[in-house]
Amino acid sequence: MLQEILAAIVSALIVDPLQAEMSERLAQIRAPQTVIADMRTCAEASLPKLADRALADPLWVVKATLDVWTGRTAPEEVLGGTSAQCDAAIKAARIYLESRGA
């Protein structure tokens, strides 16, 4: 029960904003839809691991939320390392972001 509540909080405060920001940045530079979809899937798939981390370290949620909302942390930094799928999606997204100067 507690993990489900934390998952909802992590989703609302961290994953959803990260997903929205990455999708917006990629759409602005006209990245292929597959790259955008892969990032969306990555964000959704990272939720259980991020919820586990939040359960183990509740202060991390507060810090990560503030860092994301203030722009001190890039979305890919929070999502990176949550799975091999995310790492591949982030690598593909970075290629487009860096090549377009975004």
Structural domain range at position 26:
1-99
This prediction has a pTM of 0.79
Contacts of 16 (CB under 8 A, 6+ apart): 43
User: What total of structural domains would you count in the chain?
Assistant: 1
Rounded Cα distance between 53 and 51, Å, is 5
Burial category of 11 from C-beta neighbours within 10 Å (exposed 0-12, middle 13-18, buried 19 and up): middle
Q: What is the pLDDT along the chain (102 residues), one digit of tens a residue?
A: 777 887 888 888 888 888 888 899 899 999 999 999 999 998 888 888 888 888 898 888 888 888 877 888 877 788 888 888 888 998 999 888 888 765
- What is the chain's Cα-based Rg? 13
pLDDT for the residue 81:
81
Rounded Cα distance between 91 and 71, Å, is 20
